[in-house]
Amino acid sequence: MYNSDFLSQLGCQLPIIQAPMAGAQDSRLAIAVCHAGGLGSLPCAMLSIEQIEREIVYIRANTASPFNVNFFAHHQVDYTPEMQNRWLQVLQPYYQQFGLSEQDICHTGGRQPFNQATADLLADLKVPLVSFHFGLPEDKLLQQIKASGAKVISTATTLTEARWLQAKGVDAIIAQGLEAGGHRGMFLHNDIATQSGTFALLPNLVKAIDLPVIAAGGISDAATSQCTFSLGADAVQAGTAFLLADEAKTKAGHKTALQSSKASDTRLTNIFSGGIARGIATPFIESLGIHPAVPPFPHAAFVTDPIKNRAEQLGNNDFSAMWAGQNACLAVPGSAKAIIERILPSAV
Ligand SMILES: Cc1cc2nc3c(=O)[nH]c(=O)nc-3n(C[C@H](O)[C@H](O)[C@H](O)COP(=O)(O)O)c2cc1C
């Protein structure tokens, strides 16, 4: 019943991509998904170049199946002291609550945009598929990846973004509906009013775009995946459904929240990174929401992270970014294989 032209050409048996989820998984989940016949993904946005190489080599050593490596393609905006001060002022009550000061702000780490060194590594390692969030890297880097033989896909959250990606020469487009957990891949605009749900975005893209369209956002079981295939999806990309996988690295507090009544209340917020993302509602998210004083992605994390980290040290998850989609309450624990069987029951 299901067949993905795009994924079967890559050598993948089932029309499902396990969404890359930075901070919630590593190569272990990607390998388990590959073993189960799906396309496993490695999120690289928060890894050093050495870690990326090690993880790709490890995946290769453990599966002969194709896999996806995922990067953020945001354009880094300069971070000014004014931006920091404005955000610090907003977060001052929380800094006081946890006994924090400006000295606790740390400017290292964070999410790195795709760069030349990474493009060189991918060309050397000849990976089969590279996916991007937040648009695409500059043309020179994109052409280098394509010349190495890799297929390239990226996320669109509107028809305008999908047309832009098509003109840039991607091989397939991920249609990320508003239901989706984690960061929205918006890159041509920052206006949440432009965003639509999977049920509306997907058929619009299928009609107007001359490329395979992969549905993402809210796909957590057989009924939701069947809907997207009926609407013309070539394959599905599911994230939240894999957060309770045995092979995922989802933090304990996040897992507990996913299995509680809290899972049915997710919100959009920009307070953790500066980019708009969906996660399980907490009092912290509810009071700040999508805040106008937040520094641009990914810089907000420098000031917000100390609060999150201190609270987590104290066993308090009320300040954690527990990314999850609107169908989080459909997620069930189990092996990656069992989760794929739930999403694509008649394909396995
Ligand atoms: C915990 C979490 C982390 C995510 N991290 C990434 C990421 O690193 N790269 C990326 O392209 N998408 C990321 N996403 C978004 C997914 O690619 C995808 O759009 C989303 O999970 C689909 O919606 P769903 O969660 O309802 O299945 C993340 C999603 C979640 C839930």
- For 188-198, write each residue's pLDDT tens digit: 999 999 999 99
Ligand 1 centroid distance, CA of 327 (Å): 13
CB atoms within 10 A of CB 24: 25
- Cα 306 to Cα 9, 91, 105, 144, 319: the distances in Å are 45, 11, 6, 38, 10
- For 251-309, write each residue's pLDDT tens digit: 999 999 999 999 999 999 999 999 999 999 999 999 999 999 999 999 999 999 999 99
| Buried/exposed 294-329: b ≥16 CB within 10 Å, e otherwise | bbbbbbbbbbbbbbbbbbeeeeebebbbbbbbbbbb
| Model pTM above 0.75 | yes
Element (H, E) at 70: strand 67-72
pLDDT by residue for the chain (348 residues), tens digit each? Answer: 567 899 999 999 999 999 999 999 999 999 999 999 999 999 999 999 999 999 999 999 999 999 999 999 999 889 999 999 999 999 999 999 999 999 999 887 667 789 999 999 999 999 999 999 999 999 999 999 999 999 999 999 999 999 999 999 999 999 999 999 999 999 999 999 999 999 999 999 999 999 999 999 999 999 999 999 999 999 999 999 999 999 999 999 999 999 999 999 999 999 999 999 999 999 999 999 999 999 999 999 999 999 999 999 999 999 999 999 999 999 999 999 999 999 999 765
Q: What is the CB-side half-sphere exposure of residue 154 using CA atoms within 13 A?
A: 26
Residue nearest to atom 1 of ligand 1 (CA): 323
- Cα 107 to Cα 12, 102, 301, 309: the distances in Å are 40, 11, 9, 14
Q: Are 246 and 333 in contact (CB under 8 A)?
A: yes
Bond into 298 cis (ω within 30): yes
Structure tokens at 133: 């969030």
Q: Which residues line ligand 1 (CB under 6 A)?
A: 19-22, 24, 43, 45, 70, 133, 176, 179-183, 216-219, 237-241, 323-325, 327
